[in-house]
Amino acid sequence: MTGFGNGALGRVVRSGVGRRRVQTLVIAVATMMAVASAVVAGSLMVATNAPFDRAFAQQHGAHLTAEFDPERVSDDRLGATGGLSGVTASAGPFPTTTISPVGPEGGHMPALTLVGRPGPKSDVDALDLKSGRWARKAGEIVLSSSFAGPFLELGSTMESSDAPGGRTLTIVGFAMSAGDSADLWATPAQVRSLVAEDGRLGSQMLYRFDSAGTKAEITGDRKRLAAAVPSGALLGTQSWLDTKRAADQGAAATIPFLFAFGVLGIVMSVIIVGSVISGAVGTGLRRIGILKAIGFTPREVVRAYVAQALIPAGVGIGLGVVLGNVLAVPLLEDTESVYGTASLSVAWWVDVVVPAGALLVVGVAALVPALRAGRLRTVDAIAVGRAPRTDRGQWAHRAAGRLPLPRPVTYGLASPFAHPVRAIAMVLAVAFGTVAATFAVGLTQSLNAVAAAQDPEDRADVTAISGGPGGGGNAGPVRTEKHRGPASGGQEQPAPADPERVRAAVAAQPGTASYYGVAQGDGSVAGVAGSVRIRLYQGDSGPGSFEMISGHWITGRGQVVVSTQFLEATGNRVGDTVRVTFEKESQRLRIVGEAFDTSDDGMRVHADLGSFATAEPGVFLIEVEPGVSPAAYAAELAEVVRPLGGDAIADFAGRGESMILVLEAMAVLLTLMLVSVAGLGVLNSVVLDTRERVHDLGVCKALGMSPRQTVVLVLASVTGIGVLGGLAGVPAGFALHGYVLPVMGSAAGTGLPPSVLDVYDTWQLALLGLAGLLVALLGALLPAGWAAKVRTATALRTE
């Protein structure tokens, strides 16, 4: 009896798999869904684990991106800097400039860094050409892949500026730079020809060093570069550490979310597989007894029932790996564009570890009920047979019979108590499915709230600048923060406009709904090493207020609002005072609020412009009246303020919501998988119950029960389970959301405001509770139809 392949044991296994087609299908599909979700979650966890480091290594990213003044240092001398001590590789010089292009629909884009390169490949900062081709001639550009979307596609055109001599530029490719060395690229000749009359041509050099792992080492590298060229030739630098910090913070926030779904999937698969095998043992007692009577040992019985689970599970695992890889591809593509990583694919070891782990889980889940089968005494198994114990659930039937409900309903409501273990497994399956749905709904709403709580600057319809298209004003325009190249210090700026005259023009412009002024620049705060970004507000800054985690937004002079990271870095709390220095003027300001603000590494402070006597607004952020076109409004306002030395631009669609869309897609996909598995668990259990009670159903039909009443009976048997699962799952999902969201925020270096955390409405929780009932009813619908169709004589002949 010890043979397995074609021997007696092998025939028993194959017979069990073939006879229990529903259980076999449920195990296969449940493990397929669980493995597919695990592959998706695992591959995304790998992709979001230090994505910047992998992309940076693959593309030989630049530790330092430097911009030089070509009028003060020659290209030959710049090329020689690649031989400085500590420099391991260099690339350049490449001509560079800054342009403010006009988008396809006439909207002004933010100031963008344009670099001229003959091709994407380089010893340092080798670009990953995501689509299209490289620019070959005048009028062609390659845009950063982070801008790709429905408004900017291959073949789209834009104007280099809104000046009369602006050039038409056609997008021929999208590329990605791991170190964010530029926003768009063209041929070197094209860049030189695009330098506007009031613009400046720069020379970009890209360096890798043998020691660049800390801020101090980067500072030392920069000093060596500055010393190797004439004084004032080095205009600005960009460190890879700043780009890495921003990328890692975004990636870290996704790990708790993926881990939560991964745990739910594992627990769900254990429940379903254990329930299926337990049911197979419970419904096959007589068969187990016969096997033992003809000479099968307890060990062989255990092996047979474990094998009956592993065979369909193996098929499901194989299909799950394939399905997981297929589903992961589009999500990984989105992750590439969001994190700026090189081409991603499912890691080979994920396709090995996940199936191995799934087989282990299935084996353990099947082993417990299989051991029960092995321990059964032969006489007891044959005597008990398939029928459930008659003394189980009698009290439930008596209690349900007293309810003022039709008899099929009360009969069905009491049925689960005949198999309490199976009923508990169904409740757990429905509960975990409800947990996943509740968590996903809350997560989606929280992510939407995060998108709505982004920098209020991005929500303004129009920006009026006190200093022309390239900047100006005391602090420079807010929107130039989107410029990602090196700081262009040392360049001459156009004469700034009088902020008061620009403000008056905004106030007088028809269609203005509201506006406020902003001054922004680097300053210092006592107790903080290095510079701090300071933003000052003039007028009613309510439309520009950030979501508050605690305290309130600034309401007057002497107040300052800071971020979570600022409070943690300085050891301050809301209510404390700090000394803030802006443009050589120092003031003691009281912290009145903690804002949901992660910009500038969370070290940006917000205060009233009136707190500093010499500060003047550099921009005015404007909301237009309903029905007014921001582009048309900006064009009309620009005609008024340009003669003053200012400019006006309409808001251009930002890129900050891409990661939110990816997370929402992952949440929906993984939730659908888990809810489907929960429904399959209910389906299997109801099939077992229906087959066990087919003789009882025949008796009921003989006494006059109609097919419709039979369906009601079967559905009623899962109604209580659905209600209990929903009641247990909704609070658990609510609690999971309340735990995971703050962990995600902490990983991103910030607290979360109530608008992000308190997203559930009462009616939503009620509907989610009903979702558990819906999952149970849908899982029971097929076996209910089968029970209604079975003929009375056939049911009565069934033992």
pLDDT one-digit tens code per residue, 159-216: 887 777 778 888 999 888 877 788 889 998 888 888 754 567 889 999 999 888 888 8
CA torsion angle for 431, 436, 439, 445 (degrees, to 10)? -130
Q: Does residue 559 sit within a domain? A: yes
Same domain, 344 and 356: yes
Query: Which strand (E) or helix (H) includes residue 317?
Result: helix 298-339
363-369-375 Cα angle (round to 5)? 120
Same domain, 624 and 485: yes
Q: What's the number of CA atoms in the CB half-sphere (13 Å) around residue 191?
A: 27
Domain stop point among 386, 418, 446: 386
Whole-angstrom Cα distance, residue 89 to residue 207? Answer: 6
Domain count for the chain: 4
pLDDT at 166 (0 to 100):
75
Q: Does residue 225 sit within a domain? A: no
Question: Where does the pLDDT of residue 662 fall: very low under 50, low under 70, confident under 90, or very high at 90 and above?
Answer: low
Q: Does 731 have pLDDT greater than 90?
A: yes
* CA 276 from centre of chain: 34
Q: Does 550 have pLDDT greater than 80?
A: yes
What is the largest distance, in Å, between two alpha-carbon atoms of the chain?
A: 104
* CA 62 from centre of chain: 27
Whole-angstrom Cα distance, residue 279 to residue 687? Answer: 10
CB 206 within 8 A of CB 135: no
775-780-786 Cα angle (round to 5)? 155
How confident is the model over 503-528, as a mean pLDDT?
A: 84
**Whole-number average pLDDT of the chain:** 76
Query: Which strand (E) or helix (H) includes residue 557?
Result: none
> What pLDDT digit, counting tens, does each position of 73-93 carry?
888 888 888 888 888 999 889
Domain stop point among 631, 650, 669: 650
Whole-angstrom Cα distance, residue 649 to residue 103? Answer: 11
φ/ψ of residue 72, rounded to 5? -110, -15
Whole-angstrom Cα distance, residue 170 to residue 136? Answer: 11
> What pLDDT digit, counting tens, does each position of 745-792 carry?
777 777 788 888 888 988 888 888 888 888 888 878 877 777 777 776
Same domain, 449 and 486: no
pLDDT at 495 (0 to 100):
56
Same domain, 629 and 490: yes
pLDDT at 487 (0 to 100):
42
Same domain, 463 and 510: yes
Whose CA is closest to 599, among 563, 629, 567? 563
Distances (CA, A) of 231 to 87, 199, 224, 297, 638: 20, 21, 12, 90, 38
pLDDT at 207 (0 to 100):
92
Q: Does residue 90 sit within a domain? A: yes
How confident is the model over 724-740, as a mean pLDDT?
A: 89
Q: What's the number of CA atoms in the CB half-sphere (13 Å) around residue 372?
A: 14
pLDDT at 476 (0 to 100):
35
Question: What DSSP string describes 65-76?
Answer: EEEE-TTTS-HH
Question: Where does the pLDDT of residue 269 fall: very low under 50, low under 70, confident under 90, or very high at 90 and above?
Answer: low
Q: Does residue 222 sit within a domain? A: no
> What pLDDT digit, counting tens, does each position of 21-49 carry?
767 777 787 778 778 877 877 777 666 66
Same domain, 621 and 693: no
Radius of gyration from C-alpha coordinates of the chain: 34
Q: Which of 45-54, 459-468, 558-567 has the lowest mean pLDDT?
A: 45-54
Query: Which strand (E) or helix (H) includes residue 700?
Result: helix 694-702
752: which 2 tokens?
A: 């979360």
CB 255 within 8 A of CB 45: yes
Higher pLDDT, 294 or 265: 294
514-519-524 Cα angle (round to 5)? 145
Same domain, 464 and 448: no
Same domain, 460 and 582: yes
Locate all alpha helices (DSSP H) within 59-129, ordered by sequence.
75-80
Q: Does residue 86 sit within a domain? A: yes
CB 695 within 8 A of CB 798: yes
Domain stop point among 629, 650, 671: 650
Whole-angstrom Cα distance, residue 309 to residue 367? Answer: 9
Whole-angstrom Cα distance, residue 111 to residue 104? Answer: 16
The DSSP secondary-structure symbol of 105 reads T
Same domain, 179 and 70: yes
Whole-angstrom Cα distance, residue 700 to residue 433? Answer: 33
Whose CA is closest to 113, among 125, 131, 127, 95? 95
Same domain, 600 and 587: yes
Please, what sign has the CA dihedral across residues 145, 146, 147, 152?
A: positive
Q: Which of 14-23, 51-60, 93-102 has the lowest mean pLDDT?
A: 14-23
Q: Does residue 262 sit within a domain? A: yes
Same domain, 259 and 169: no
Distance spanning both ends of the chain, measured CA to CA: 29
Neighbouring CB atoms inside 10 A of 529's CB total: 9
How confident is the model over 383-391, as a mean pLDDT?
A: 50
> What pLDDT digit, counting tens, does each position of 403-437 carry?
777 877 787 777 777 777 778 878 888 888 888 88
φ/ψ of residue 67, rounded to 5? -115, 130
Whose CA is closest to 496, among 473, 521, 518? 473
Place of tokens 């290095």: 530
Q: Does residue 696 sit within a domain? A: yes
Q: Does 799 have pLDDT greater than 60?
A: no
> What pLDDT digit, counting tens, does each position of 105-156 carry?
656 666 788 899 998 888 888 888 888 899 888 888 998 877 776 667 888 8
Amino acid at 222: R
Whose CA is closest to 449, among 603, 600, 660, 597? 660
Bond before 499 cis per omega within 30 degrees: no
Question: What DSSP string describes 738-780?
Answer: HHHHHHHHHHTT----HHHH----HHHHHHHHHHHHHHHHHHH
Neighbouring CB atoms inside 10 A of 322's CB total: 14
Whole-angstrom Cα distance, residue 92 to residue 671? Answer: 49
CA torsion angle for 33, 37, 42, 44 (degrees, to 10)? 150
Higher pLDDT, 401 or 65: 65
Same domain, 481 and 423: no
Amino acid at 774: L
Q: Does residue 231 sit within a domain? A: no
How confident is the model over 713-725, as a mean pLDDT?
A: 85
pLDDT at 473 (0 to 100):
37
pLDDT at 129 (0 to 100):
84
CB 163 within 8 A of CB 128: no
Full residue range of the structural domain in which residue 180 is found: 64-211
Whose CA is closest to 31, among 691, 774, 684, 726? 684
CB 413 within 8 A of CB 434: no
Q: Does 385 have pLDDT greater than 60?
A: no
Whose CA is closest to 28, among 303, 322, 310, 355? 310
Higher pLDDT, 103 or 575: 575
